[in-house]
């Protein structure tokens, strides 16, 4: 073919086709490689910026089976095996262990036994035998006979929701079965305004209905007009039947009311998408409550029944006979060493406080030491809850971190201890009240980590007794076993807009509620937007507390006092027919000088504890008291005791200061 000849297009196509196929075969591996590298780079940076979260489950305490063989007038009998074997739902779970907290809080010392540790000697040396629902439903014949004899001999036996032979022997027939309680309609001996307040308490339990009342019984508390607590004379003593689930009612009020599977719905009491401690509040009517309903019920049991029928003594709740106490707490996650600035004002006012700080707040060893020198206590603020409130640690290698691990409870505790050079931390609080959907899981985790007190329970929008009390309560596991941690609910949050004002809370506390008022405020509140009006209100708190006879403490000091109070011992004996000693006789007591007598031995380990006794025994009123005897030469000398009048939620009592060590007294009533 000549050079100038032009080939037709058809002659090019085979050559072009072969050349194209060869290029495709050569280019395809490079394209795969390039796109693979691009995808890997994308995944690398995507995972680096959004690492996968590893699971970090909480280690939970299983609780502590409390038993105590101490010197105490009240003996509580619990069956922990029966408690664990009770129903799997909240309404079926047996919370009999709540009796421990009830008696400790109001009287101080208490003895606790199980069916395995209960002996005739322990029953005989007690004044009040409490057979909780964990044992009264299926009471062994031997225990039943001992309880019967205890009442016949003049003791007080309390049975909670008895069944079987115990019901036949002690209580009404219960043939009407369980009925949903709507309202308390009567509380014998409780005066206004406290009786009116008790009737407003929401009920979360059934009561046992009977076709006829127990012969000779006196109704002490009625629900919907039916007897719910009643006393029956039995020989020289009494048997009191509690025919509703008192334990669960107290737990629902104080620790909170979950769903039947022990979970909490998100946003039940708040608009937050995350679970908060406010969601634990058992009923809408408790938000902003101006009366501590759980304490009203518990104190009716102790002062309206225990003291009425057995005249048992106890220890006053607060040191130095104060009408109540105020605890200041502060939560800081940003200021570090600067978070303690409020302690300077508190120290000037003779007050102490507890500062909760997070591991990332920046607290230094020097700052920690300064807080201690100012009389403050350091606590642990726990980042817990949803992803937005959780701290993470990157997990990877050579600068590449495809995973992240939540900094758990112990990680945060260790970091705070190391950063601030702290040896011990015993009190805690979750940041911003974050909580779990599992009812008791955070408290069980904190107890497992060594915390002894917690202040997470709070409703940020409301002041008041949303959890039925201002006093610390012993927390429970979902199995009904006590945890080694006590919850201090916050009564006055930092920026609450609703509920009774602090001045009213303190005034009513002094007049009869006798509460521990925990006040929470954040030191960072005044950093960016100073609120001088709010600051002035906070300063007025000190004057208000003093005017109402309330001590100003931190949790460490109040908890130390309570431990000493619980560790003391009280033993008493009632003699309804005796003669007045020479020192108390007068023309007014002639001719027989007869009286009722309560002999008391008490041992305490510090000087600021006060003894309390009932002001009346039956129809007799307090007449006088003498202290322990001492020999002077050939004579036995006694000393008359000066007591003061007081009351607890309207129930009249007498109280006086104890000396450190061993004390003996005789109290006379005419």
47's tokens: 């995972």
Instruction: Report pLDDT for 66.
Output: 95
SS (H, E, C) 412-467: HHHHHHHHHCCCCCCEEEEHHHECCCECCHHHHHHHHCCCCEECCCCCCCECCCCC
CA 134 – CA 129 distance, rounded (Å): 14
Half-sphere exposure of 447 (CA within 13 A, CB side): 21
**Residue 529's pLDDT band (boundaries 50, 70, 90)?**
low
Q: How many beta carbons lie within 10 A of that of residue 310, not counting itself?
A: 24
Q: What is the mean pLDDT of residues 594-616?
A: 94
**Residue 138's pLDDT band (boundaries 50, 70, 90)?**
confident
For 374-427, the DSSP string reads TT-EEEEEE--SSGGG--EEEEEETTEEEEEEE--HHHHHHHHHHHHT-S---E
Q: What is the mean pLDDT of residues 43-54?
A: 56
Q: Which helix (H) or strand (E) holds 601?
A: strand 594-604
pLDDT: is 315 or 33 the higher one? 315
- Distance (Å) of CA 48 to CA 38, 39, 402, 459: 15, 14, 5, 38
Point out which residues pair with 230 in neighbouring strands.
219, 241
What SS3 class is residue 281?
Answer: coil
Instruction: Report pLDDT for 385.
Output: 67
CA-nearest of 298, 261, 283 to 93 is 261
Instruction: Report pLDDT for 20.
Output: 46
Q: Mean pLDDT highest for which of 102-106, 398-402, 629-633? A: 102-106
Burial class (CB in 10 A: 0-12, 13-18, 19+), 569: middle
- Distance (Å) of CA 39 to CA 30, 31, 32, 46, 47: 14, 12, 10, 10, 12
CA 568 – CA 606 distance, rounded (Å): 9
Distance of CA 537 to the CA centre of its chain: 28
CA 451 – CA 433 distance, rounded (Å): 17
- Distance (Å) of CA 104 to CA 109, 111, 268: 6, 10, 32
Q: What is the mean pLDDT of residues 615-644?
A: 78
Judge whether residue 270 has pLDDT over 70: no
Model confidence over 475-525: pLDDT tens digits?
Answer: 999 999 999 999 999 999 998 999 999 999 999 999 999 999 999 998 887
Half-sphere exposure of 496 (CA within 13 A, CB side): 25
Q: What is the mean pLDDT of residues 420-431?
A: 91
Distance of CA 448 to the CA centre of its chain: 17
Torsion angle, alpha carbons of 203, 204, 205, 206, to 10:
70
626's tokens: 């003498």
253's tokens: 């009020």
What SS3 class is residue 27?
Answer: helix
Cis peptide before 28 (omega within 30 of 0): no
Q: What is the mean pLDDT of residues 621-634?
A: 72
CA 660 – CA 663 distance, rounded (Å): 8
Instruction: Report pLDDT for 527.
Output: 59
Point out which residues pair with 239 in neighbouring strands.
157, 232
Contact assessment for residue 481 and residue 447, using Cβ atoms and an 8 Å cutoff: no
CA 625 – CA 600 distance, rounded (Å): 11
Model confidence over 80-135: pLDDT tens digits?
Answer: 999 999 999 999 999 999 999 999 999 999 999 999 999 999 999 999 999 999 99
Model confidence over 316-375: pLDDT tens digits?
Answer: 999 999 999 999 999 999 899 988 888 888 989 999 999 999 999 999 999 999 998 888
Question: How do beta strands 400-406 and 392-397 pair?
Answer: antiparallel
CA 45 – CA 167 distance, rounded (Å): 71
Query: Range with the lowest mean pLDDT among 37-41, 340-344, 483-487, 586-590?
Result: 37-41
CA 249 – CA 438 distance, rounded (Å): 19
Q: Which long-range contacts (CB under 8 A, 24 or more apart) does 638-645 make?
A: 638/581, 638/583, 640/583, 640/584, 641/665, 643/613, 644/321, 645/615
Helix 246-254 vs helix 293-301: crossing angle, to nearest 10? 150
What SS3 class is residue 595?
Answer: strand
Task: Give CA angle at 291 (287, 292), nearest 5°.
Answer: 90
168's tokens: 């036949």
99's tokens: 């009796």
**Residue 187's pLDDT band (boundaries 50, 70, 90)?**
very high
CA-nearest of 351, 362, 359 to 517 is 351
Instruction: Report pLDDT for 557.
Output: 94
Instruction: Report pLDDT for 420.
Output: 86
CA 571 – CA 432 distance, rounded (Å): 45
Judge whether residue 273 has pLDDT over 90: no
CA 568 – CA 229 distance, rounded (Å): 30
Residue bearing tokens 């008791």: 440
Q: What percent of the chain has pLDDT over 90?
A: 70
Instruction: Report pLDDT for 364.
Output: 92
Judge whether residue 10 has pLDDT over 60: no
Instruction: Report pLDDT for 304.
Output: 97
What SS3 class is residue 483?
Answer: strand
Q: How many beta carbons lie within 10 A of that of residue 289, not counting itself?
A: 25
Q: What is the mean pLDDT of the chain?
A: 88
Contact assessment for residue 130 and residue 102, using Cβ atoms and an 8 Å cutoff: no
pTM beyond 0.75:
yes
CA 473 – CA 484 distance, rounded (Å): 11
């Amino acid at each position: 073919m000549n050079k100038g000849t032009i080939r037709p297009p058809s002659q090019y196509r085979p050559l072009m086709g072969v050349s194209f196929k060869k290029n495709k075969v050569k280019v395809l591996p490079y394209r795969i490689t390039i796109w693979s590298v691009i995808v890997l780079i994308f995944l690398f940076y995507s995972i680096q910026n959004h690492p996968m979260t590893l699971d970090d489950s909480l280690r939970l305490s299983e609780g502590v089976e409390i038993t105590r063989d101490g010197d105490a007038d009240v003996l509580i009998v619990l069956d922990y095996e029966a408690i664990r074997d009770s129903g799997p739902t909240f309404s079926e779970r047996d919370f009999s262990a709540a009796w421990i907290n009830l008696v400790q809080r109001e009287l101080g010392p208490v003895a606790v036994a199980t069916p395995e540790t209960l002996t005739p000697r322990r029953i005989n040396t007690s004044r009040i035998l409490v057979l909780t629902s964990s044992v009264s439903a299926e009471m062994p014949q031997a225990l039943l006979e001992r309880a019967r004899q205890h009442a016949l001999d003049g003791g007080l036996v309390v049975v909670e929701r008895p069944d079987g032979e115990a019901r036949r022997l002690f209580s009404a027939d219960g043939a009407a079965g369980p009925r949903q309680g709507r309202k308390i309609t009567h509380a014998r001996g409780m005066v206004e305004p406290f009786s009116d307040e008790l009737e407003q308490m929401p009920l979360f339990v059934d009561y046992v209905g009977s076709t006829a009342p127990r012969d000779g019984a006196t109704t002490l508390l009625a629900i919907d007009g039916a007897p719910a607590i009643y006393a029956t004379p039995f020989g020289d003593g009494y048997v009191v039947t509690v025919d509703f689930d008192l334990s669960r009612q107290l737990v629902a009020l104080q620790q909170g009311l979950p769903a039947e599977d022990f979970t909490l719905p998100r946003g039940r009491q708040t608009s937050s998408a995350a679970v908060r401690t406010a969601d634990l509040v058992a009923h809408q009517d408790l938000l902003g409550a101006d009366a501590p309903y759980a304490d009203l019920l518990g104190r009716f049991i102790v002062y309206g029944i225990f003291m009425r029928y057995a005249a048992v003594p106890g220890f006053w709740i607060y040191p130095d006979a104060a009408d109540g106490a105020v605890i200041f707490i502060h939560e800081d996650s940003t200021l570090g060493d600067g978070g303690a600035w409020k302690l300077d004002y508190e120290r000037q006012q003779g007050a102490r406080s507890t500062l909760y700080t997070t591991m990332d707040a920046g607290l230094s060893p020097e700052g920690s030491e300064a807080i201690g020198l100012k009389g403050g206590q350091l606590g642990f603020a726990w980042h817990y809850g949803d992803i937005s409130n959780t701290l993470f640690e990157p997990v990877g290698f050579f600068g590449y971190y495809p995973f992240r691990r939540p900094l758990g409870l112990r990680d945060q505790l260790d970091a705070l201890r190391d950063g601030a050079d702290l040896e011990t931390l015993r009190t805690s609080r979750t940041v911003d009240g974050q909580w779990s959907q599992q009812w008791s899981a955070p408290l069980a985790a904190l107890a497992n980590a060594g915390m002894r007190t917690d202040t997470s329970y709070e409703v940020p929008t409301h002041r008041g007794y949303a959890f039925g009390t201002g006093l610390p309560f012993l927390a429970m596991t979902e199995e009904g076993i006590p945890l080694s941690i006590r919850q201090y609910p916050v009564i006055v949050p930092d920026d609450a807009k609703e509920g009774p004002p602090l001045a009213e809370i303190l005034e009513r506390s002094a007049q009869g509620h006798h509460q521990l008022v925990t006040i929470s405020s954040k030191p960072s509140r005044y950093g960016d937007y100073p609120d001088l009006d709010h600051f002035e209100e906070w300063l007025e708190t000190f004057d208000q507390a003093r005017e109402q006879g309330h001590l100003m403490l931190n949790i460490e000091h109040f908890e130390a006092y309570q431990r000493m109070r619980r560790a003391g011992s009280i033993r008493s004996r009632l003699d309804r027919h005796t003669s007045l000693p020479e020192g108390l006789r007068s023309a007014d007591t002639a001719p027989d000088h007869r009286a009722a007598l309560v002999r008391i031995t008490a041992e305490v380990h510090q000087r600021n504890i006060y003894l309390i006794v009932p002001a009346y025994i039956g129809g007799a009123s307090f007449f006088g008291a003498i202290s322990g005897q001492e020999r002077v030469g050939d004579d036995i000398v006694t000393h008359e005791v000066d007591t003061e009048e007081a009351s607890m939620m309207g129930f009249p009592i007498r109280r006086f200061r104890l000396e450190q060590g061993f004390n003996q007294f005789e109290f006379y009533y005419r």
